[in-house]
């Protein structure tokens, strides 16, 4: 399930309130430089689950600095500081320079803009509206054609995002670490299995179920009704298989927790359909009361 998140910023004086998101891109020529940034925005989507391990993503930094520290800590690689000059509509120290004229080492990073990104790809966004700096984030997953990212300072508060979210304007593209790009599943957005335990995972196309084994991916099944991403620790599955995982025979119409303890099903006329995937587990209620997500 997804929740809509509105990130608001109040403009000073008597000016109207706008919806703003984005990040101050770089610390600049000194470690404590703080450049204010705004970006007109509409709605962003947040996810109730995450795929990547974000232990190394810090909080308290601008977006470029936070992303750089993540890759230095998690993968032992880095990328350039942003220059102190404008390039077109990209402001000095802006994250947009990462795509325009401060590209990472091509021996370590592959520049991409077609298809879908993969987990841990470094994604770059251009200037947008009142935001001349752009934005940079790290991809967590793709679902339903939407790219969900983790980052710092998206809400202009220098805080790390708590859950993966979309960015409300289109990206330039993304950079993929070459060390993560080999042997991936086709249609899965590159190396689907990088950093993942063995199991079943939905591909980025949203319609293919892949099996990861020893870091390598193979196609397990083509999902006619789409692929359903399950909570961490539970195998993903084809959506058309979901109803078969709960037996509604003899049950009154209503909501029931599945045997995995994480899926809420709706029984109707003896048939089951998935009502919700519960991020914190499914709570079994007393007889006569619908079960519910925690």
CATH code, 42:
3.90.1720
Who contacts 259 (Cβ-Cβ below 8 Å, separation ≥6)?
Answer: 245, 246
Interval 170-187: pLDDT, tens:
999 999 998 876 433 333
134, 254: one domain: no
Q: Which of 48, 71, 47, 75 lies closest to 61 in space, CA to CA?
A: 71
How many CB atoms lie under 10 A from the CB of residue 27?
19
Per-residue confidence (pLDDT) for residue 197, from 0 to 100: 78
279, 176: one domain: no
Within 13 Å and on the Cβ side, how many CA atoms surround 272? 23
Q: Which of 155, 230, 217 lies closest to 183 in space, CA to CA?
A: 217
170, 77: one domain: yes
- Whether 190 maps to a domain, the answer reads no
Average pLDDT over residues 74-88: 94
- Whether 14 maps to a domain, the answer reads yes
- Domain finish residue from 181, 204, 227: 181
30, 134: one domain: yes
pLDDT higher at 251 or 112: 112
1, 145: one domain: yes
Average pLDDT over residues 124-138: 95
Domain of 113 in residue numbering reads as 1-181
Q: How many domains does the chain have?
A: 2
Measure the CA–CA gap between 130 and 64, rounded to whole angstroms: 19
- 209 neighbors 237 (Cβ within 8 angstroms): yes
Per-residue confidence (pLDDT) for residue 120, from 0 to 100: 92
Mean pLDDT of the chain: 78
Residue identified by tokens 């990073």 is: 109
Who contacts 50 (Cβ-Cβ below 8 Å, separation ≥6)?
Answer: 140, 141, 150, 163, 164, 232
Interval 227-273: pLDDT, tens:
888 777 777 877 765 444 577 878 898 888 887 777 788 888 777 77
Max CA pair span of the chain: 70
Who contacts 16 (Cβ-Cβ below 8 Å, separation ≥6)?
Answer: none
279, 147: one domain: no
Among 34-43, 49-58, 99-108, 154-163, where is mean pLDDT lowest?
A: 34-43
pLDDT higher at 62 or 49: 62
Per-residue confidence (pLDDT) for residue 108, from 0 to 100: 93
- Domain finish residue from 181, 207, 229: 181
How long a stretch of residues is the chain? Answer: 294
16, 97: one domain: yes
- Whether 208 maps to a domain, the answer reads no
Residue 293 pairs in a beta bridge with 282
Measure the CA–CA gap between 68 and 268, rounded to whole angstroms: 50
Residue identified by tokens 């750089």 is: 68
- Domain finish residue from 146, 181, 216: 181
Measure the CA–CA gap between 107 and 114, rounded to whole angstroms: 20
CA distances 92 to 21, 61, 135, 139, 188, Å, are: 18, 17, 13, 25, 36
- Whether 192 maps to a domain, the answer reads no
113, 259: one domain: no
177, 38: one domain: yes
- Whether 216 maps to a domain, the answer reads no
61, 154: one domain: yes
- 131 neighbors 112 (Cβ within 8 angstroms): no
């Amino acid at each position: 399930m997804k929740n809509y998140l509105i990130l608001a910023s109040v403009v000073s004086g008597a000016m109207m309130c706008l919806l703003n998101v984005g990040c101050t891109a770089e610390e600049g020529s000194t470690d404590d430089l703080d450049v204010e940034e705004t970006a007109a925005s509409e709605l962003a989507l947040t996810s109730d689950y995450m795929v990547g391990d974000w232990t190394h993503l810090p909080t308290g930094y601008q977006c470029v600095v936070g992303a750089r520290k993540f890759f230095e800590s998690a993968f032992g690689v880095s990328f350039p500081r942003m220059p102190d000059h404008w390039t077109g509509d990209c402001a000095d120290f802006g994250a947009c320079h990462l795509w325009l004229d401060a590209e990472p080492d091509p021996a370590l990073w592959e520049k991409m803009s077609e298809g879908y990104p993969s987990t841990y790809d470094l994604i770059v966004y251009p200037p947008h509206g009142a935001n001349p700096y752009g934005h940079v984030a790290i991809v967590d997953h793709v679902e339903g054609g939407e790219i969900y990212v983790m980052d710092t300072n998206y809400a202009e508060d220098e805080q790390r995002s708590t859950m993966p979210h979309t960015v409300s304007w289109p990206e330039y593209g993304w950079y993929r670490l070459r060390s993560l790009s080999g042997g991936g599943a086709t249609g899965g957005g590159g190396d689907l299995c990088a950093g993942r335990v063995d199991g079943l995972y939905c591909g980025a196309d949203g319609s293919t179920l892949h099996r990861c084994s020893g870091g390598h991916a193979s196609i397990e099944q083509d999902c006619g009704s789409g692929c359903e991403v399950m909570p961490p620790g539970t195998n993903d599955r084809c959506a058309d298989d979901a109803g078969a995982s709960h037996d509604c025979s003899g049950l009154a119409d209503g909501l029931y927790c599945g045997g995995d303890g994480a899926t809420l099903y709706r029984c109707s006329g003896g048939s089951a359909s998935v009502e919700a995937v519960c991020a914190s587990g499914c709570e079994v209620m007393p007889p006569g009361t619908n079960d519910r997500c925690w």
